[in-house]
Amino acid sequence: MSKQRNTVQRQIIISTLKKLNTHPTIDEIYTLICKDHPSISKTTVYRNLRQLAADGQVRHISMPDGLERYDGRIDHHYHFMCRQCGAILDVEIDYLTNINDTVQNKYGIQVDNHDVAFSGICTDCKK
């Protein structure tokens, strides 16, 4: 993990992402940033988001829609995606650290992390 220097652009990206709970795509983050900082290029946002995720300052999340999404919350937690409206919500349950050990012991591999994404219909769409 190679920590990069903390530039103004990185601070803007982190700040924007931490204000959101929508788990946006890179394009959505770029669009939001451009409203207040039109001089920041799309390439800068793309490159910095990926590096911030690699450095552990933001979280890259894998969701069933296959889009590259990011989360300002870096603590271990799970996500739910509504298959009808596409909303992504944080799931507040205990993080299953023992699952890593179970998989490691069964297959003899090293597990550093795991992602779980629940999918179904959200309460708004159920109405």
**Of residues 42, 44, 43, 91, the one with CA closest to residue 63:** 91
> What average pLDDT does the segment 84-100 reach?
91
Instruction: Write down the pTM of the prediction.
Output: 0.82
What residues does CATH 1.10.10.10 cover in the chain? 1-74
Four-point Cα dihedral 93, 94, 95, 96, nearest 10: -110
pLDDT of 1 > 50? The answer is: no
**pLDDT, position 73:** 93
**DSSP-derived secondary structure for 61-98:** E--TT---EEES--SS-EEEEETTT--EEEE-S---HH
More reliable by pLDDT, 42 or 1: 42
Q: What CATH number is given for 75-127 in this structure?
A: 3.30.1490.190
- Architecture of the domain whose range is 1-74: Orthogonal Bundle (1.10)
Q: What is the pLDDT of residues 54-91, one digit of tens each?
A: 999 999 998 888 888 999 999 989 999 999 999 999 99
**Of residues 110, 9, 4, the one with CA closest to residue 54:** 4
Residue 4: pLDDT band by 50, 70, 90 thresholds?
A: low
